């Protein structure tokens, strides 16, 4: 396996584990094609020991073992903001954004303040690790990108035949709500909207889902969206949180029965763009396909100009029409499908309770 991502201030980060590091054993058991699922399932244990190796010509050489333990982490999804100053004479903004989390709306807006002040010509939005989140935050992000945003419809939410009264929509916004770490609304900010973009580049993978796909689908009627990477997950439906709360049918956690510590997260709506399109249950197929795992032995950090998926976007901006293949492509790479359960809420799209507070 190779490491795709390391969260800041996490146990892995503190152990100096980096994106691109190669792991060939967990808890002393070497991974092979027969035991892969069994061994990798150990990743859900509280404490694990990972064995790191280097690769040269197909030969793996042991480097060291590192033991890490799980912890609770509040992770800023605005992972990296960068500007490339001269890509064929253009300024290109690059944002690695890993989750639509309401309590980080202001950090997302700050990233676009940087792009706005730099007067970027193009934007590359890296959603390869973004499994979704808040529908409202998705609308905010689209409002930062689309230069001519007014009050046009960004997304339609349609419930089933028993709850058509809940059908509604999100428009592009001029302000966003700011929340603290407890998801308490503490004010508003004007949205930092870019006025220089004619198209959007989105980097994707099979982990790109829900609210991430909503941005692609919602913006397509307004501006060209070029998808680069691999096919997205394919989730055009979303959910609400239901508590045992006598005062409401929906999301009033404050009045929930304190003796009941579980809630439900049912799928309740499907999402459409302004043209009534919602046909991506099989995912969005990339305009330019780049399989990152084929370069597993030469994975570069996010933001490195030669990182394989980012480079494909930059080369397209440069006007290259032929496919540029990095020298380190591993012809013997194989992607293995996991059968262990995914991380909870990994591919999530949800609406907050204020959606139901309609006049």
N- to C-terminal Cα distance for the chain? 52
The whole-angstrom separation of Cα 95 and Cα 90 is 16
Map residue 110 onto helix, strand or coil: helix
Contact at 8 Å (CB) between 137 and 98?
Answer: no
Contact at 8 Å (CB) between 213 and 285?
Answer: no
| Local confidence pLDDT in tens for the 359 residues of the chain | 999 999 999 999 999 999 999 999 999 999 998 899 899 999 989 999 999 999 998 899 999 999 999 999 989 999 999 999 999 999 999 999 999 999 999 999 999 999 999 999 999 999 999 999 999 999 999 999 999 998 899 999 999 888 898 899 999 999 999 988 777 889 999 999 999 999 999 999 999 999 999 999 999 999 999 999 999 999 999 888 888 877 665 556 677 788 888 888 888 899 999 999 999 999 999 999 999 999 999 999 999 999 999 999 999 999 986 555 555 666 567 777 666 555 555 667 667 666 554 43
Report the sign of the C-alpha dihedral through residues 322, 309, 136, 174, in that order: negative
The whole-angstrom separation of Cα 125 and Cα 95 is 5
| Closest C-alpha among 158, 284, 131, 154 to residue 212 | 131
Q: What is the pLDDT of residue 357?
A: 45
The whole-angstrom separation of Cα 312 and Cα 87 is 12
The whole-angstrom separation of Cα 267 and Cα 240 is 7
The whole-angstrom separation of Cα 206 and Cα 204 is 7
| Contacts of range 173-181, beta carbons closer than 8 Å, 24 or more positions apart | 173/139, 173/140, 173/143, 173/149, 174/143, 174/149, 176/105, 176/106, 176/109, 176/140, 176/143, 177/102, 177/105, 177/136, 178/105, 178/106, 179/102, 179/103, 179/105, 180/103, 181/74, 181/103
Q: What is the pLDDT of residue 331?
A: 59
Please state the separation of Cα 98 from the chain's center in Å. 4
Query: How many residues in the chain?
Result: 359
Please give the DSSP secondary-structure letter assigned to residue 297.
Answer: G
Q: What is the pLDDT of residue 336?
A: 75
Q: What is the pLDDT of residue 359?
A: 39
Q: What is the pLDDT of residue 183?
A: 77
| Contacts of range 156-161, beta carbons closer than 8 Å, 24 or more positions apart | 156/271, 156/272, 156/273, 156/274, 156/276, 157/238, 157/269, 157/270, 157/271, 157/351, 157/355, 158/269, 158/270, 158/271, 158/272, 159/268, 159/269, 160/268
Contact at 8 Å (CB) between 317 and 90?
Answer: yes
Residue with tokens 């001029």: 174
Q: What is the pLDDT of residue 71?
A: 94
The whole-angstrom separation of Cα 85 and Cα 149 is 26
Q: What is the pLDDT of residue 311?
A: 96
Concatenated DSSP letters for 5-20?
A: ---TTSHHHHTT--TT
The whole-angstrom separation of Cα 351 and Cα 247 is 19
Q: What is the pLDDT of residue 33?
A: 84
Phi, psi of 85 (to 5 degrees): -85, -20
Q: Mind listing the domains of the chain with CATH numbers?
A: 11-69 (no CATH), 78-151+170-235+274-288 (3.90.226.10)
What is the reported pTM? 0.91
């Amino acid at each position: 396996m190779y490491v795709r991502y390391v969260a800041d201030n996490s146990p892995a980060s503190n152990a100096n584990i980096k994106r691109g590091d190669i792991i060939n054993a967990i808890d002393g058991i070497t991974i092979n094609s027969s035991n892969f699922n069994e061994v990798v399932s150990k990743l859900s244990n509280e404490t694990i020991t990972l064995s790191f190796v280097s690769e040269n010509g197909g030969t793996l050489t042991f480097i060291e073992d590192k033991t890490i333990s799980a912890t609770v982490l509040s992770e800023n999804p605005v992972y990296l903001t960068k500007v490339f100053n001269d890509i064929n004479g253009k300024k290109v903004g690059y944002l690695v954004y890993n989750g639509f989390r309401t309590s980080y709306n202001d950090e997302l807006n700050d990233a676009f303040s940087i792009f706005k002040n730099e007067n970027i010509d193009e934007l590359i939005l890296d959603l390869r690790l973004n499994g979704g989140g808040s529908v409202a935050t998705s609308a905010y992000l689209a409002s930062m990108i689309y230069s001519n945003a007014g009050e046009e419809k960004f997304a339609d939410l349609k419930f089933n035949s028993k709850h058509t009264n809940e059908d509604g929509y999100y428009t592009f916004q001029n302000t966003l709500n700011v929340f603290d770490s407890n998801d308490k609304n503490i004010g508003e900010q004007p949205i930092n909207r870019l006025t220089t973009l004619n198209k959007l580049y989105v980097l994707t993978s099979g982990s790109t889902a829900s609210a991430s796909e909503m941005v692609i689908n919602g913006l397509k009627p307004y501006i060209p969206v070029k998808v680069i990477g691999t096919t997205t997950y394919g989730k055009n439906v979303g959910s609400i949180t239901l508590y045992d709360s006598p005062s409401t049918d929906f999301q009033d956690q404050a009045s929930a029965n304190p003796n009941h510590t579980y809630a439900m997260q049912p799928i309740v709506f499907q999402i459409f763009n302004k043209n009534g399109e919602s046909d991506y249950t099989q995912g969005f197929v990339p305009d330019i396909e780049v399989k990152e795992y084929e370069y597993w032995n030469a994975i570069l950090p996010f933001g490195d100009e030669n990182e394989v998926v980012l480079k494909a976007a930059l080369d397209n901006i440069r006007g290259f029409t032929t496919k540029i293949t990095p020298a380190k492509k591993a012809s013997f790479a194989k992607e293995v499908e996991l059968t262990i359960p995914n991380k909870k809420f990994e591919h999530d799209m949800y609406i907050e309770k204020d959606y139901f507070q309609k006049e």
